């Protein structure tokens, strides 16, 4: 079973192919993009050990030669040093303007390699081969690429759309449970922001998804990608609707910064906690019912996910300090905090003028409880 979702962006349109055994078919899928039978692959050590041989033999089977660079795994890799290393390696491999670079890995590799492809020879094409759930449902689609700096996450980057995305559901089998659940935070986000029926379905099928049900995983990834592709096609550079994808992210980025982008809190875990907080904030502002935040939290808990700020191990700064960290977020517009709020499950909207006192009380209570 193979699903195809189109990202419609005029000349920069591309397909997201989602299905089983896609890595083994990668040569056939990628061949039509190539001007010469040669690609450079950038991946990271953990993913390379598990999936690089399958990719390289699939390419070889179609007569496509490949070289590969494996960077260290982890968020710390998304930095200037590895951007330079990756870009210079691609130059050493004599990657030319018309060549194609393959990014095999999770969101860290997709973001870093995508950015490197954006600046290499003023832009070369690249293919995303996302291997984590988060990368399959979110980061591989939409063309946001970049790295982290001392000043914050994803503050340096470029919009650079891939030429193709190949999301092989089977590679998720090797993903650690914690990383799977982190990606699931982004899946839940799609239901919460714009598809109440999808959230209903996740409430029923979430446990099957977690335990490896392939049909459920295919459906969840496909629906998530359809939603992201639709939004990106309508608003590529986040002038409006695309901001909805940031549901939970203002809280998430403050919490990630407060925990030093460490193992204490993975990105998708922060998104899940952030979504619960965004619904709590929406409820206190009288925008959605009081039951909505409880429902969100109940589902996250049923999935065994981090749900509340207190689920983050170790000490955290107070509400005021967290709000200050939000102030450094790039979603700040003219000094005002921008939140994505909801009028109910599946009905998110952008709010630019959220009262600071209510945000403070939500955080105070979350930190205290």
Ligand X SMILES: NC(=O)c1ccc[n+]([C@@H]2O[C@H](COP(=O)([O-])OP(=O)(O)OC[C@H]3O[C@@H](n4cnc5c(N)ncnc54)[C@H](O)[C@@H]3O)[C@@H](O)[C@H]2O)c1
Using rule CB under 6 A, residue 106 touches ligand X: yes
Rounded to 5 degrees, φ, ψ at 110 are -60, -45
Active-site residue, from 25, 153, 246, 295: 246
Backbone angles phi, psi at 350, to 5 degrees: -90, 130
Active site residue 299: no
Instruction: By CB under 6 A, tell whether 19 contacts ligand X.
Output: no
| Alpha-helical regions (H) of the chain | 26-30, 45-61, 80-92, 107-119, 133-134, 177-194, 196-210, 214-234, 249-258, 267-284, 291-302, 319-327, 356-368
- Residues 71-90 within binding reach of ligand X (CB under 6 A): 73-75, 78
Whole-angstrom distance, CA of residue 143 vs CA of residue 110: 10
Concerning whether 29 is annotated as a catalytic residue, the answer is: no
Is residue 107 at the binding interface for ligand X, with CB under 6 A as the rule?
yes
Query: Is 217 noted as a catalytic residue in this protein?
Result: no
Nearer to ligand X, 38 or 257 (CB): 257
3-state helix, strand, coil in the chain (%, to 5): 55, 20, 30
281 near ligand X, judged by CB under 6 A: no
Least distance in angstroms from the C-beta of 365 to ligand X: 28
Smallest gap from residue 281 Cβ to ligand X (A): 21
Residues paired with 164 in a beta bridge: 15, 127
Interior angle at CA 59, CA 58 and CA 61, nearest 5: 65
Strand partners, 68: 41
* Residue of 78, 160, 219, 253 marked catalytic: 253
Active site residue 186: yes
Q: Quick check: 138 binds ligand X (CB under 6 A)?
A: yes
Question: What is the Cα–Cα distance from 121 to 99, expressed in whole angstroms?
Answer: 11
Active site residue 242: yes
Q: Is 171 in the site for ligand X (CB under 6 A)?
A: yes
Structure token pair of residue 281: 């904030």
Residue 113 binding ligand X, by CB under 6 A: no
**Residues engaged in binding ligand X (CB under 6 A):** 44, 46-47, 50, 73-75, 78, 105-109, 111, 131-132, 134-135, 138-139, 142, 144, 153-154, 171, 174-175, 179, 182, 267-268
Which sequence positions are flagged as catalytic? 122, 144, 186, 228, 238, 242, 246, 249, 253, 267
């Amino acid at each position: 079973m193979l699903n195809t979702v189109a990202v419609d962006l005029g000349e920069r349109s591309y397909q997201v192919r989602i299905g089983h055994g896609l890595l083994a078919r990668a040569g056939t899928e990628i061949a039509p993009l190539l001007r010469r039978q040669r690609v450079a692959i950038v991946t990271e050590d953990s993913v390379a050990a598990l999936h690089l041989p399958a990719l390289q033999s699939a390419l070889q089977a179609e007569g496509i030669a490949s070289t590969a660079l494996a960077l260290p795994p982890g968020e710390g890799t998304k930095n200037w040093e590895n951007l330079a290393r990756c870009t210079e390696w691609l130059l050493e491999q004599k990657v030319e303007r018309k060549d194609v670079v393959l990014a095999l890995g999770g969101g860290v590799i997709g973001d870093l390699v995508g950015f490197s492809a954006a600046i290499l020879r003023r832009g070369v094409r690249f293919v995303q081969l996302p291997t984590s759930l988060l990368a399959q449902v979110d980061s591989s689609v939409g063309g946001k690429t970049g790295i982290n700096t001392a000043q914050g996450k994803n503050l340096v980057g470029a919009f650079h759309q891939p030429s193709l995305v190949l999301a092989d559901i089977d590679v998720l089998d090797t993903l650690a449970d914690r990383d799977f659940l982190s990606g699931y935070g982004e899946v839940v986000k799609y239901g919460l922001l714009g598809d109440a029926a999808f959230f209903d379905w996740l409430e029923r099928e979430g446990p099957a998804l977690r335990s490896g049900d392939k049909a459920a995983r295919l459906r969840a990834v496909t629906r998530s990608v359809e939603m992201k592709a639709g939004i990106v096609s309508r608003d590529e550079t986040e002038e409006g609707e695309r901001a909805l994808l940031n549901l939970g992210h203002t809280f998430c980025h403050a919490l990630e910064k407060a925990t030093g982008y460490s193992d204490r809190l993975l990105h998708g875990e922060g998104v899940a906690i952030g979504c619960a907080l965004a619904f709590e904030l929406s409820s206190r502002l009288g925008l959605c019912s009081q039951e909505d935040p409880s429902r969100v939290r109940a589902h996250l808990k049923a999935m065994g996910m981090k749900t509340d700020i207190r689920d983050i191990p170790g000490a955290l700064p107070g509400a005021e300090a967290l709000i200050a960290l939000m102030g450094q977020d790039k979603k700040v517009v003219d000094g005002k905090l921008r939140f994505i709020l909801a009028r109910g499950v599946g009905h998110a909207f952008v709010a630019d003028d959220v009262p600071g006192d209510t945000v403070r009380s939500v955080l105070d209570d979350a930190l205290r409880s």
